[in-house]
Amino acid sequence: MTSATRSPDTVTLHIPFRLVKRGGRKEMHLPANAQVRRKIDDTLIKALARAFRWKKMLESGEFATVGELAEREGIAPSYLARLLRLALLAPDIVETVLEGRQGVDVTLAKLPETLPAAWAEQREMLKG
């Protein structure tokens, strides 16, 4: 660009998307071929960290039961047991979550109550 070239006052960007109403809110949907950088799911990562910490505490014998550990943590045993199952996820699924590459449907709230024990079945269920 030379000093004689004048820059435009307005720049127009075209971003292909469509708005879709879901319940009482609007969501932005990008085309299928659009590359989207996923956001790190802090809630899911925190839950994973807690699950692995609790698993270690139970395996080390620091706490004998889930109920005992839940009491110490000040949470319901059922909630602790629900999160504790995350420590049984396949290592590559955990890595995918930590890097923010999981599917949009892989969130703490949307994870099924029971996950298969077999890692191949987990991968199939959590494809995103």
pLDDT at 33: 78
pLDDT at 92: 95
Tell whether pTM > 0.85: no
pLDDT at 64: 96
pLDDT at 57: 96
**With a cut of 50, which residues of the chain have pLDDT below it?**
none
Query: Torsion angle, CA of 126/101/128/97, rounded to 10 degrees?
Result: 20
Nearest of 53, 55, 46, 57 to residue 108 by alpha carbon? 46
pLDDT at 2: 56
pLDDT at 111: 85
